Amino acid sequence: MAEASGSGFSIDPMGQFNIVSLFGGDVDTFTFTNSTLWMALVVLAASSLFIFGSQGRALVPTRLQSVTELAYEFIHNLVKDTAGTDGLKYFPYIFTLFIFIVFSNVLGLIPYSFTVTSHFAVTVVLALMVFITVTVIGFLKHGLGFINFFIPHDAPGWLKPILFVIELISYFVRPVSHSVRLGANMLAGHAVLKVFAGFVYPMSVGGILPLAAMVGIYGLEVLVALVQAFIFTILTCIYLNDALHMH
């Protein structure tokens, strides 16, 4: 932490990720924290968009309506193309995940806000939800035959046990990469912005340089926010497809 340096040069890139109780007291399971507030705002913003956007039902959509319709069709086509028509049964769950993540990521870019998805507590739960659901679907649909998913059928016999172990490990690594990819992207982007922001004031006039860099990085972060939500969703669809069709 740069707090200790004597020159008044204080850069605290991780401070923004602190979980603090908004009404005092210690943080326990049911405490209303800043994370809770921003989750509530995410739900509020997403619900408002979809409730108001879907009221009009005009044949020629209004602007708000066409945002909801674009989001709907985008994820609908993504699920259909990636997981097949039988994957559409799970479309509402995937859509909820996508909307929650994309709103968390984008709202987190508002200055002084809190990014819900920058915490591994959140992304790990999201990824585990997908992982457990998909594994249960796989076993429900194929029974114990789902084990064959871990054994490449065109491999020579003596290689199969080794490949089985490798496939099993890679399967269990999925939720790790799935969650860390999203969380780390959010975390790193916001930390970098904070570091650059910390340089602006101490550099006085020269501070224009880190400020200009921040503008560029901010644009990049908007892109990352959307792309990471998309990647999380498409990986969910791919995992779902594996469970439904076993390759």
Q: Which residues bind another protein (CB under 8 A)?
A: 1, 12, 14-15, 17-19, 27-31, 33, 35-36, 39-40, 42-43, 46-47, 50-51, 53-55, 57-59, 61, 65, 68-69, 72-73, 92-93, 95-97, 99-100, 116, 118-122, 125-126, 183, 187
CA dihedral 157, 161, 165, 166 (to 10 degrees): -30
Q: Which is nearer to another protein, 94 or 237 (CB)?
A: 94
Which uninterrupted H or E stretch holds 244? Answer: helix 208-245
Binning the chain into helix, strand and coil, the percentages to the nearest 5 are 75, 0, 20
Q: Which is nearer to another protein, 15 or 161 (CB)?
A: 15
- Cα–Cα dist 31/195, whole Å: 30
Rg (C-alpha) for the chain, rounded Å, is: 22
| Nearest to 90, CA basis, from 70, 72, 76 | 76
Write down the least CB distance from residue 21 to another protein, Å.
Answer: 9
Q: Which is nearer to another protein, 47 or 177 (CB)?
A: 47
Write down the least CB distance from residue 236 to another protein, Å.
Answer: 14
Residue type, 5: S
Q: Quick one: DSSP state of residue 186?
A: H
Write down the least CB distance from residue 129 to another protein, Å.
Answer: 8
Q: Quick one: DSSP state of residue 59?
A: S
Output the DSSP codes for 134-145.
HHHHHHHHHGGG
Q: Which is nearer to another protein, 23 or 158 (CB)?
A: 23
- Residue linked to tokens 């908004």: 22
Write down the least CB distance from residue 50 to another protein, Å.
Answer: 3
- Cα–Cα dist 129/158, whole Å: 35
Q: Which is nearer to another protein, 53 or 175 (CB)?
A: 53
Q: Which is nearer to another protein, 64 or 211 (CB)?
A: 64
Residue 48: strand, helix, or coil: helix
Q: Which is nearer to another protein, 75 or 210 (CB)?
A: 75
Write down the least CB distance from residue 134 to another protein, Å.
Answer: 16
8 A C-beta contact, residue 2 and residue 10: yes
8 A C-beta contact, residue 9 and residue 202: yes
Write down the least CB distance from residue 237 to another protein, Å.
Answer: 17
Write down the least CB distance from residue 130 to another protein, Å.
Answer: 12
